[in-house]
């Protein structure tokens, strides 16, 4: 075996909540062959495998009695460029924000609204990550994944990934597919998305009249840094709950009691509610019990002030879910994967 395993490894450095649980075994994979070898060895040993990237979408509530495989593959490249349309590819282990910044430095537009999102390239399609009016699916062209059941490689196009709101084929089939590399279609010509949130206002405040992709990225980074805590300083996984999509009739019942409810009509007649607004109205913003809490500036973010366990964070999340259901009749769904 060329891939070495370590025993009883703390996963605290490998999850942005900073939860201190142990992996029975831990290894890193830097290429396809190391991925295959680690999975094969785990199968022969009868061990379950948890694959992780940046650990920004995990809530670990217990020790992992198996192998934790950390995707550490690196590489980003231009596959084609006709002067207008560019296709780029990045390995799954590439950190997302540095990859976005690399694309902007090459003069490629399209990823600027997705700046400063934590995590890795390989995890981005799983959640169909999105921010400020843009989702991964909007710039996605394909990916290569390993079928953990057959050991075969398969390429997926946009339609086959079945992307939804913070959802994909890969999220709906946990443990089946291991994403190895992802391809994006970008452009030399900026098509600015400025109307979601305070992006346009921030650019005006900065005196930017004709924004470039880099200027949009810089504005979004400044907004995110003001609103969201840095996981290196305060353990968190970003937005903890999805914005719920509910029936319009329920929104009208809520609006009768709360006229200022933040709601976004959807094309299918349903309405997306701002989960953060619901949580703040329920009085959870800034709540703290021990080292588990809700961020004082952003009620959508649960935080670990230092030594909270994953179980304590999960308990807080369930209490918030129960309260929102009782008050508003709305079920909140967690974004992070629970282990």
Question: Where are the extended beta strands (E) located within 11-152?
Answer: 22-29, 49-52, 58-59, 64-71, 76-81, 85-91, 130-131, 134-135, 140-147
Residue ranges of domains in the chain, CATH in brackets: 6-71 (3.30.43.10), 76-227 (3.30.465.10), 235-338 (3.90.78.10)
Asked if residue 292 lies in contact with residue 304, where contact means CB atoms within 8 angstroms, the answer is: yes
pLDDT value at position 1?
Answer: 53
- Record the tokens describing residue 31, joined without a space: 């290429």
Sign of CA dihedral 200, 240, 142, 180: positive
Lateral strand order in the sheet of 76-81: 76-81, 85-91, 177-187, 140-147, 153-156
CA 231 – CA 85 distance, rounded (Å): 35
Contacts of 268 (CB under 8 A, 6+ apart): none
pLDDT value at position 197?
Answer: 74
pLDDT value at position 287?
Answer: 98
Catalytically active residues are 166, 239, 335
Contacts of 308 (CB under 8 A, 6+ apart): 19, 235, 290, 291, 292
pLDDT value at position 195?
Answer: 85
Asked if residue 305 lies in contact with residue 26, where contact means CB atoms within 8 angstroms, the answer is: no
Per-block average pLDDT, block size 10, for the chain (339 residues)? 87 97 98 95 95 94 97 97 96 97 98 95 94 95 95 96 93 94 97 88 90 95 90 93 95 95 93 96 97 96 97 98 97 94
């Amino acid at each position: 075996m060329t891939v070495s395993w370590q025993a009883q490894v703390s996963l605290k450095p490998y999850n942005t909540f900073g939860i201190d649980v142990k992996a029975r075994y831990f290894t890193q994979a830097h290429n396809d062959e190391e991925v295959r070898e680690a999975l094969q060895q785990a199968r022969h040993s009868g061990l379950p495998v948890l694959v992780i990237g940046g650990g920004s979408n995990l809530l670990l509530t217990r020790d992992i009695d198996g192998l934790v495989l950390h995707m550490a593959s690196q590489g980003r490249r231009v596959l084609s460029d006709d002067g207008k349309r560019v296709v780029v590819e990045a390995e799954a282990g590439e950190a997302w924000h540095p990859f976005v910044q690399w694309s902007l430095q090459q003069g490629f537009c399209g990823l600027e609204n997705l700046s400063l999102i934590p995590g890795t390239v390989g995890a981005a399609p799983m959640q169909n990550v999105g921010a400020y009016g843009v989702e991964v699916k909007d710039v996605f062209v394909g990916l290569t994944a390993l079928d953990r059941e057959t050991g075969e490689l398969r390429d997926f196009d946009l339609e086959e990934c079945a992307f939804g709101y913070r959802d994909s084929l890969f999220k709906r089939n946990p443990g089946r597919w291991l994403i190895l590399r992802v391809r994006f279609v970008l452009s030399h010509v900026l098509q600015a998305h400025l109307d979601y949130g305070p992006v346009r206002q921030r650019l005006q405040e900065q005196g930017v009249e004709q924004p470039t992709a880099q200027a949009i990225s810089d504005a979004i980074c400044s907004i995110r840094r003001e609103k969201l805590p840095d996981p290196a300083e305060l353990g968190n996984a970003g937005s903890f709950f999805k914005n719920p999509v509910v029936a319009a009739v329920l929104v009208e019942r809520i609006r009768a009691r709360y006229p200022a409810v933040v709601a976004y009509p959807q094309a299918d007649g349903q309405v997306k509610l701002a989960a953060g607004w619901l949580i703040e109205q329920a009085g959870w913003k800034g709540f703290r019990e021990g080292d588990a809490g809700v961020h004082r500036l952003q009620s959508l973010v649960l935080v670990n002030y230092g030594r909270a366990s994953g179980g304590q964070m999960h308990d807080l999340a369930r209490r918030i879910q129960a309260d929102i259901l009782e008050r508003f009749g709305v079920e909140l769904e967690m974004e992070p994967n629970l282990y």
